[in-house]
Each structure stands twice: as structure tokens, then as C-alpha cells.
Amino acid sequence: MADFFPGRADGQPGLALFLNAGDPPLEVLVDVLVALDALGVDCVELAVPFPDSVTDGPVIRRSAARALAGGVGLPETLAFVARTRQLLRRTRIALLADWRFSLKDGAPDELARRVADSGVDGLLVHGLPPRLRPAWQAAVEAVGLPVVGTCYQGVSTPQTMAMAARQATAYLYLVAHYGRSGTRASNGFASLAATITSLRGLTNAPIAVGFGVTSRADVAAVAAAGADAAIVGSATVATVERSLANRSDVAAEISEFVCSLQQPAPATNS
């Protein structure tokens, strides 16, 4: 199984970025992923674009609309991963697919095989109905596909958190607060510490925190709360949006943004 956040061993917080496949266009996105890999970004959550997400704010919704207008769906996303994954030495790809828009009409075992065969390192199924979870769990286990589990601070019941923790084999995504992406909890990330401590006893998977993470200070705060990694979504997508609007180099713009998030390298004695 891939270690999604190997930097934890050095005391550095892991970093995951969210992007929609097709925004920027796939021929540009490959350069973005190669640049992120060179910068040591641990993971890209690559979403198969889908419309009208109730959990996403306007930035990510506009991104999905641009990608869908470009004709990117599940087949195009999997083909992109298949030809791009071999270019990456460090960065893992966690695929996010919406059940209703991308997976509803397929059999779980066939879809899980297609996803695994593309070379992705993990799968997060968005909006999966509870009645279908056993079938999907069996399907991904059968093909050895690591799972990204998800739970929500302050909303998920203890039973839901325990189930998500048990099923997570890639990493456990703890959403910092219930709401739309691009927003943050008024009390910051320190209040997550007790939840993270509790989850530690339920899973061996690393714990990553997202929603409201936009700066180096936020990444540090997430790490201080005990998480293994921070997930940066809307701020990453907003960088893409500005670059596309300005017709600038998307890979260069995102690289600059990532450098602003990363912890400075420790000083060495000369």
C-alpha cells in the first residue's frame, strides 16, 4: 500500500491538493502534476468533475463547470491517470468520483476494476448511499484499491466516524466543519485535536484535514492539532482560475502557491 504522507516521519505535515480533472485542460494538467511532484506534494485529490455539488462553494463549482464543458468525465479522467501516473515519483493520486453522476449506472466490481487499472492510489466515492456501501467495500477490497474514508467534525455521529476510520486504508479525510468548501470554522483548527486523538485509536491510516486550509499558518495549525496532513481545495482551484483568466502559466502559478504553503526547510549547520 502506498504511503500517502511519508513526510510525517520527518515531522513535516503532509500536503494534499484538490483539483478537478480537466481544469486546467488535461494537456496542461499533466504539467501541473509533474511540477507538484517535483515540489514534494504528497497527494492530489483528483475529482471526476460533476455538477451542482451541495458541498462545494462557488470556486470549485465553477471549476467543475469548466471541466465538464471541456468534455471531461470518468473515461477521460481514468485515461489521463493511466498515462500520467508513471511520470510521478512521489505524488499519489486519490480519485474522487461522485456516485450519482459518475458511478450510479455501473456495477461496483467492474467500476472498481477500471479505477484500479488506471493506476490511481486511492478512491473516495462522494455521495455513496449507505445501502450500497457493503457492495462497494467488497469491490474495492477485491481489487486491492485503497479507500479514502471521510467524516465531518461536529456532524458525523461516533458510529459514522468509527466506520469511516475502519474502512480508510489510504487516509481518513476529516472535514474540519460542516459546510461548503472554501469556508472555515470560526474557531479554527485547534478544536479538532480531541477528535483526531479519538480517531487515532480507530485507524492505522493517516488523518488529513480539509476545508478552510488556505495558508502556511493553516497547514501548521492542522499539524499542531495532530493531523498528518492538510488538504487544500478551494485556494488551489482559485489559483487555477486566476491563471486561466490571466492566460499565465498554470503550473508556475500553482508551484508558487505550493511554495507559500510549505514549511521552510530546517536550517543546517555549516
Point out the residues that are catalytic: 45, 56
Quickly list H helices, 170-228: 193-200, 216-224
Which of 137, 47, 27 lies closest to 95 in space, CA to CA?
47
CA distances from 217 to 113, 189, 190 (A): 39, 11, 12
Q: How far is Cα 207 from Cα 226, in angstroms, rounded to an integer?
A: 9
72, β-bridge pairs: none
Angle subtended at Cα 87 by Cα 86 and Cα 92, rounded to the nearest 5 degrees? 75
Q: How far is Cα 155 from Cα 19, in angstroms, rounded to an integer?
A: 25
- Residue ranges of E strands in the chain: 14-20, 43-47, 92-98, 122-126, 148-152, 171-175, 207-210, 229-232
Do 165 and 202 contact (CB within 8 A), yes or no? yes
